[in-house]
Amino acid sequence: MLEDIKKKIQKLHEQINFHAHRYYDLDDPLIADSEYDQLFQELLELEKLHPELSTPDSPTQRVGGKPLAEFKTVRHARPMLSLENAFNEPGPHLIEAIVPNEFKGLKLKALPHVLGALDSVPAPLGKALKKKLAP
């Protein structure tokens, strides 16, 4: 039984590493983010149930991959916060961190993400776009 779980964990390592390489290094993903997150969540659960099978090289022990050479380093005016995975909706802490007060009453699900991204757009364009979204 434990040997089967160990094999399943190893298979998940291989699948996740393969898809992470396609996504982060090649910018050519083969599966949707939600599918990747399902694999990752399954691995997290197995490692939680069997901590003795968790290894330092597990995909759960690192964040992302190396950025592509085409990406330039950019300093954002406000932190660009992670959504953690495709299953999570933005929690109140994330919304409070990125949504200016004038937008808090809106009921749009994607608005926190849009407004957070707009904070990285230089003024006056960012301000103009935010005005368009204002009720």
Average pLDDT value for the chain: 74
List of the chain residues with pLDDT < 70: 64-68, 78-135
Question: What confidence score (pLDDT) does residue 29 get?
Answer: 92
Nearest Cα neighbor of 96 from 116, 118, 68, 110 is: 116
pLDDT in tens, 79-94: 665 555 545 554 444 4
Asked if 59 and 17 count as a contact pair (C-beta separation under 8 A), the reply is: yes
Secondary structure tally for the chain: helices H, strands E: 5, 0
Quote the DSSP letter at residue 104.
Answer: T
pTM for the whole structure: 0.55
Q: Which domains are present in the chain?
A: 2-61 (1.10.287.610), 74-135 (no CATH)
